[in-house]
Amino acid sequence: MSHPNAKHRPASRESSPREQGANPWEASAAETTVKVGLNAAIVGVDEDKPLVMTVRYDETVSNAEAGREDQGIPGLPFGPFEPHRHRTLDSGLRQWVAEQTDLQLGYAEQLYTFGDRGREFEFGGGPRIISVGYLALTNRVSDDPAPLASWEDWYRYFPWEDWRDTEPPVLAEVIRPALIRWAERAEMGPERDHKRERAALCFGSDGIAWDEEKVLDRYELLYEAGLVYEAARDRGPRPDTPERPLGLPMRFDHRRILATAMSRLRGKLKYRPVVFELMPPTFTLFELQRVVEAISGVRLHKQNFRRFVEKSGLVETTGDISTQTGGRPAARYRFRREVLLERLSAGVRFSATISKR
């Protein structure tokens, strides 16, 4: 049985063990040498559009490491960790981002380290590549980025993740039917049941609610079922590859890293005051709500949202009012940066409501 929190896999001996008590570092250098890629999912919000920074390359990339079919497909800012040039992983990431996007990162946190990137790096014979993914947040979305860099609406890559107005039609029209076929291709019995259940858990259905935090699980399921471009790219055409693959693709495993970032951010929003990294210095409560909704992809109950935010102690009014709201003017607030040092630091709690606020 699979485990949603972690992998249960018997430790098969892939080659012969060493003798007890040896120093594991004594293995020869050639066997232990790898390259480490640093990848940034940089997130911002413009009005009600969640944005991710992408980079395209002007040269034609031809070596095996760069992915054979990825020319022209944009990706996240990234570059190799260079031990002699970078003091830490973190600072290496910041340098690459600055060079490629002209953005000076503020908030950045490590997401995950991926060791298996499908198969695209297994030929070419060069050293194995490992990706360290980061999530970065910024409010500088109107600065001009470098020529090859640009902000993109993240729902272009994940159209099934935006439930703010309605359930995305692609779910009923494409995804759920394709996942049913995917399950049917397994032989009848526990495996088929398990696949069906997994699909229902990830994408919701009769009785199972949509969980906006499961972005990564959903992407990985679509990849496994061969419904995203990257699956065919990495493993050859699949039985059910649709004519119009789901969402826009990215280079390498960058869409997976973005999915990881979205999951983490949607989760963290609820228990840490991270939204404010995405806000301008002052804002109205409704602007704050729109940003939370943009990130989480669901609508919130307005009065309860303000009740929560006001009670939390995370913000204070500036005294100004904003009259550009289209209705009664709204009070402007600022984030109380001091609370980052207080024990109370809660995040922005919310629970989804059925459209309409």
Partner DNA sequence: CCCATATATGCTCAAGTTGAGCATAAAACC
Partner DNA sequence: GGTTTTATGCTCAACTTGAGCATATATGGG
Name residue 113's beta-bridge partners. Answer: 132
What is d(CA 338, CA 315) in angstroms, rounded to the nearest whole number?
10
Return the residues of window 242-301 that contact DNA according to CB under 7 A: 284-286, 301
Q: Which does 326 bind (CB under 5 to 8 A by kind): a second copy, DNA, none?
A: DNA
Q: Which stretch binds DNA (CB under 7 A): 51-59, 130-138, 188-196, 344-352?
A: 344-352
Amino acid identity of residue 302, one-letter, is: K
Q: How many CB atoms lie within 10 A of CB 242?
A: 15
| Interacting residues with a second copy between 332 and 351 (CB under 8 A) | 337, 340-343, 345
Tell me phi and psi for residue 331, to 5 degrees: -70, 145
**Binding site partner of 20, from DNA, a second copy, none, Cβ cut-off 5-8 A by kind:** a second copy
Q: Among residue numbers 172 through 201, which ones bind a second copy (CB under 8 A)?
A: 197-198, 201
DSSP assignment of 287-329 equals: HHHHHHHHHH-S---HHHHHHHHHHHTSEEEEEEEE-TTSSS-
Tell me the C-alpha distance between 321 and 76, whole Å. Answer: 38
Report the C-alpha gap between 203 and 320 in whole angstroms: 43
Q: Is 349 in the site for DNA (CB under 7 A)?
A: yes
CA gap 352, 343 in Å, rounded: 27
Task: Indicate which single residue of 127, 190, 281, 329 sits in contact with DNA (rule: CB under 7 A).
Answer: 329
Q: Which stretch binds DNA (CB under 7 A): 60-68, 195-203, 234-242, 306-314?
A: 306-314
Binding-site member from 10, 327, 338, 343 for DNA (CB under 7 A): 327
Q: Which of residues 269-298 bind a second copy (CB under 8 A)?
A: 272, 274
Amino acid of residue 154: W
Among 41, 45, 97, 288, binds a second copy (CB under 8 A): 97
Question: By the criterion CB under 7 A, which residues form the site for DNA?
Answer: 284-286, 301-304, 306-308, 321, 323, 325-331, 349-351, 353-354
